[in-house]
Structure 1
Amino acid sequence: MNKQNINKVKLFLLGLQGRFSENSSIFKDILVTYSAGLKEFKGKGIYEEGSIKYNFNGKTEIFSLEELFEKITEEAEKYETLTLLYRERGTELLISADNKNVKMNTTEVKEEEDIPKASVSSSINNLHYTETSTLLNRDYYIKPGKADALLKEIGIMTKEGKIKNDRIRKYNQIDHYVELLEGILDSLPKNEVINILDCGCGKSYLTFVLNYYLTEVKRRKCHFIGIDISEQVIASSKKMAENLGYRNMEFYAMDINSYEPKKKVHVIISLHACDTATDMALAAGIKMNSDCIIAVPCCHRELLNQYNYEPFKGVLKHGILKARMADVLTDGMRSMLLEAKGYEVSIVEYISPLETPKNLMIRAIKKSDENQDAMDEYYNLMSSLNVYPALYAYINEY
């Protein structure tokens, strides 16, 4: 290739260096092809601890990205054409050059159309499920095809690319989770890296799904922190992130009350954290002044033995009714306190009650400063019911 066009290539590569410095956490690899006559010579660079491990002509070396681009352009002088494919999660940039032209094209990796029905149809033939276990007649947010690597890693899909029969229900749940959060996520700042903290993350399936959706579908810069008391599940989550190449994630085995954020946390999520662990997550979101708090509570035990309301004495003598009322009061008072702290709150049904009775999702979006009138109303209800909720306690001692 002539030097004039090699210099043009260098200008494009300079732009990629800037892109890499900002988006290295979603960089996948670089594929290089030189040609001379009918022969092609291929190289591949992959990320390794901030550098690029590059293999060309059977030799593997470690370079900074700047050093690698220097080597690639030096090598280009020996050949007639150069194509360089720079791949990120969700995006590909192709530079093609010869002695006549140099051009660069950016392509978004498209979702496959109508793949869910086709890809799973053979998996469910001749089988019978309840309504809540079948593949739903909907346009899925997490589509097989592009999302295969993710779906395989979290155990939804077989190695052959079929949705597992016994995981269709879980697939429906995680996809609906994304659907319920999409509008909220769209409202978050567009010019910042969105930091999302998953409290009691467990195996982090939904965190991985949100990571995929935000990064590769919505094209948003994001970073995820997963916290769980179990060292075993944290080790599992770290391994999954490594397998998927999701470098915009970090995981810690610790108590949520011990976590001190080093940067702004935009979103707090908590899924089926047991009893007052949900309150820990909500309190963390309030104290961190998070833009958004999402929780799917579980195991409402705390208020059951606390609350008492004389006008309802005849109703609450029945244990099952008292327990159900405790569930309602727990989540209702959580929403009241969130509103008093300046959040706009909605409580929606996350999944069908046929799946689990613990199926409500609390969605809270920060809208204003503390509302003293709402706080007074909360205090009055605490007094009337003779309760001291964990969320209130955690906010004042966290």
Structure 2
Amino acid sequence: MSTINKQNINKLKLFLMGLENRFSENSSIFKQVNTTYISGLKEFKGTGLYNNGDIKYNFNGKTETLNISQLFSNIIKEAESYDSLSLIYSERGSVILISADNKNVTMKNLDVDPIDAEDSNNVSSKSASASTRGTTSTLLNRDYYIKIGSADNLLKEIGIMSKDGKIKNDKIRKYNQIDRYVELLEGILDKLPKNEIVNILDCGCGKSYLSFVLNYYLTEVKRKKCHFIGLDYSESVIESCRIMAKNLNYRNMEFQAIDIKDYEPSKNIHVVLSLHACDTATDMALALGIRVNSDVIVAVPCCHKEFLSQYSYEPFKNILKQGVFKTRMADILTDGMRCLMLEAKGYEVSVVEYISPLETPKNTMIRAIRTSTENDKAMDEYISLMSSLNVYPALYSFLNDWEV
């Protein structure tokens, strides 16, 4: 064979210019570059890994830290001395193969299971078998959104899967919960902007399991650009989240140890999440979502204590004297008024059971999609209910405090 001719070297340059632009837009999900040069019967391999905005590239026993432009310039210069070049550019959820020789230069996207993208040197030989592995778990006899096989790294990091690749017996319920969460958000997330980065704010994030799961699903399955911000007042919890993000190489995440009410976003927020934030912390998250005009607000409330000590309703006096009934009614009134306030602020609201009530009674998911301007009629109803029930909801208070 003869070395790659000048015409094809120029074509290779054009392809790499496109990848350079892609890197500038998608650097937060870039994984690695692998090169294989061939001269006669010999192969010479190089590997480039992300390193604080640059690429740490090893080739022929030499390691250099280069920016993406320098890396591709070096690769082009090196290609002039070889018979052919195969370059594999890997992102989370996407792999691109460029092949160049004296006859042609081609570029194609490889439909590869994310588990195989970890070893990009062998990606072409694996791609055919990848689609047949781990497609369906029979834990609930359903086709899971977060699939065993492709999501193994994620499931191991969040403690649901053992090192040998099996869902832990005591984590089956948790696995089903996170998959159900993704299922309930699937249609809503599809309505979010397609040509911009979707910013998702997790209020009272805790260990952020669901944010990690959504990050995986949006980035590697739906191939949607996204950025996650986790808020929690606990420094130790935030630090553990940062460690997990680093272990997973999820660079499109940030975590802040801060009270929700003190958070000031530096970018447009598209989605606000709140999972089992205790009592009025849910109201704080809802109020923040309303204040920042979030396109979507999703909350699974917990620990309804506020209304229990406040509300009274004379027509139901003889019913509510039973403590169990009064507690259950307090839960319904709390979430019902939360939904009414969201409607008053221009959101279309739906309420669904998140998981079976046999697993936990705190299983109500509130989903709100911003569709219009404020609804004065709904606000009038809200104010009227405050008077009738003798309550002053935290959500109403938080919103008023922010407006002052």
TM-score (norm 2): 0.93
Bigger drift between 220-229 and 156-165 goes to 156-165
Structure 2 counterpart of 1:18, which letter?
Answer: N
Q: What percentage of residue pairs aligned between the two structures are identical?
A: 70
The equivalent of 2:134 in structure 1 is: 115
Q: Which amino acid aligns with 2:56?
A: K
Counterpart for residue 124 of structure 2: none
1:232-243 aligned within 5 A: 232-243=236-247
Matches of 1:58 and 1:277 in 2, distance apart? 55
Correspondence for 1:17? 20
Aligned to 1:5: 8
Query: How large is the Cα RMSD of the aligned pairs?
Result: 1.2
CA distance in 1 between partners of 2:370 and 2:68 (Å): 40
Which 5+ residue runs of structure 2 have no aligned equivalent? 114-129
The amino acid that maps onto 1:65 is I
After superposition, residues 273-284 of structure 1 pair within 5 angstroms as 273-284=277-288
Tell me the distance in 1 between the aligned counterparts of 2:21 and 2:135.
37
2:263 is matched with which residue: 255, 259, 272?
Answer: 259
Structure 2 equivalent of residue 315 of structure 1: 319
Task: Give the conservation status (yes or no) of the 8 Å contact 2:136–2:142.
Answer: no
Which amino acid in 2 is paired with 1:376?
D
Give SS of 2:161's match: coil
Conserved 8 A contact 2:112-2:131? no
Q: Are the counterparts in 2 of residues 112 and 144 from structure 1 also a CA contact under 8 Å?
A: no
Q: Give how far 1:19 is off.
A: 0.6
Deviation of the 1:115 alpha carbon:
2.3
Q: After superposing the two structures, state which structure 1 stretch, 190-199 or 154-163, moved more.
A: 154-163
Matching of residue 291 in structure 1 with residue 295 in structure 2:
yes
What do the CA deviations read for 1:25-75 (whole angstroms, capped 9, x no partner)?
Answer: 111100011111221111100111110011112211100000000111111
| 1:217 matches 2:236 | no
CA distance in 1: counterparts of 2:264 and 2:131, whole angstroms: 40
Say if 2:371 is the partner of 1:367: yes
User: What residue number does 1:56 align with?
Assistant: 59
- Measure the CA separation in 1 of the matches of 2:75 and 2:383: 68
Residue 35 of structure 2 corresponds to residue 32 of structure 1: yes
1:150 and 2:154 matched: yes
2:102 aligns to what SS in structure 1?
coil
Q: What corresponds to 1:180 in structure 2?
A: 184
Counting only pairs closer than 5 Å after superposition, residues 332-343 of structure 1 correspond to structure 2 as 332-343=336-347
Matches of 1:86 and 1:300, distance apart in 2: 50
Deviations for 1:90-132, whole angstroms, at most 9, x for unmatched residues? Answer: 11110011111111111233474572656xx7xxxxxxxxxxx
Cα deviations by residue, 1:320-350 (Å, 9 ceiling, x for unpaired): 1111110010000100111111111111000
Structure 2 residue 326 is matched with structure 1 residue 326 = no
Partners of 1:109 and 1:376 in 2: CA distance: 54
Which of the residues 265, 276, 286 maps onto 1:272? 276
Q: TM-score of the superposition, structure 1-length normalised?
A: 0.94
Assess if the C-alpha contact under 8 Å between 2:291 and 2:399 holds in 1.
Answer: yes
Quick one: distance in 2 between partners of 1:144 and 1:241?
A: 20
Distance 2:107 2:349 in 1: 46
Count of matched residue pairs: 383
The answer to whether the Cα contact below 8 Å between 1:114 and 1:139 also exists between their aligned partners in 2 is no
How far is the alpha carbon of 1:268 from its aligned partner?
A: 0.2
Question: What amino acid is the match of 1:298?
Answer: C
Aligned residue identity for 1:328? I
1:43 paired to 2:62: no
After TM superposition, the structure 1 stretch with the greater mean CA deviation from structure 2, 32-41 or 276-285, is 32-41
Q: Deviations over 1:300-336 (max 9, x none)?
A: 0001000011111101111111111100100001001
Choose which of 249, 253, 260 in structure 2 pairs with 1:249: 253
Instruction: Give 3-state SS (helix, strand or coil) of 1:35's partner.
Output: strand
Q: Distance in 2 between matches of 1:113 and 1:204?
A: 30
Shift of 1:137: 1.2
Q: Secondary structure at the match of 1:273?
A: strand
Q: Distance in 1 between matches of 2:326 and 2:133?
A: 47
Give the equivalent residue in structure 2 for 1:141: 145
- Partner of 1:380 in structure 2? 384
Asked whether 1:78 is paired with 2:75, we answer no
